[in-house]
Structure 1
Amino acid sequence: MASTIGIALADNLFTFLIFYEMLTLSTYPLVVHKGTQQALDAGRVYLRYTLSAGVVLLLGTVLLYSLTGDQSFSSEEGLGDYLNDHRGLLTLIFALLVGGLAVKTAMVPLHGWLPRAMVAPAPVSALLHAVAVVKAGAFGILRVVYDLFGIELSVELVLLPRLR
């Protein structure tokens, strides 16, 4: 629960990433709790998916920091100043961040870990599905779209549809 609270209260992308990976590491023992071969296999798949996604998310975070020097969710400047000179890089950063977060959100086709992780006891499965892991990924995507990039920049980069 401390990891999810840290995710919710994170003011910048780096802090968010730290708590996000803490959530991965703290839920792994819950997945393998039964100790059966099926549970251990599910735990390996869970770690493979989520830690790989963490590396992708870290890469996006590092690229964003190297471009802007700022990762704050509440930055007044925003990323719009970098649009003309770094359109391709901003699109790549967006794809890396959302792609890394989509794994924990269990978006198709990145959802392979979730059915396997259901070998865990029912309360753990509920935690993975409804409370912490999947919701943390969805919350992260919302933070990236709304707080880091903003709707207008995302539309300008053709990452979101224009609704007008």
Structure 2
Amino acid sequence: MTTVSRRGFCRALAGAGAVAQMPAAVRGAATAQTVKLGVIGCGWYGMVNVQAAFKAGAVDIVAVCDVDSEHLRIAAEEVAKLQGRSPLIFKHYEELLQVEGLDAVIIATPPQWHALPFIAAVKRNLDVYCEKPLAYDVRECRAMQNAARASG
């Protein structure tokens, strides 16, 4: 099994288009561990990120979260097909962030809902990939920046 460091995985996810074009030998060069990932927001963007995560390799989608029951059901089914095991399912991001062993989260909620899960995730020392725009306004962006700096 090929494994990737958490930070390497987040970098790979950010450049998923480029990663998909690289030969498998290059993608697996920096190996360390399988990334245990939670997905917050399972609509179209969330599922595009899930696909990119699997292309980047060495990912275990442990949990998915969405307030929309239909998005949540579809996401859980798709993840189960991709990894052969169903993820944990949550309606509230706070519950997802309590999952033991989680390494990172993807935040793919609507923009006005990026700041709260981002801040909560970095307070738990999780790596975060967040869809753009990162924040809804400058005040949120500063709060997110301060939380990230405080977490180290």
TM-score by length of 2: 0.27
Greater helix share, structure number = 1
From the two aligned structures, give the one with the greater strand fraction.
2
- TM-score, normalization by structure 1: 0.25
Which protein has the larger Cα radius of gyration, Structure 1 or Structure 2? 1
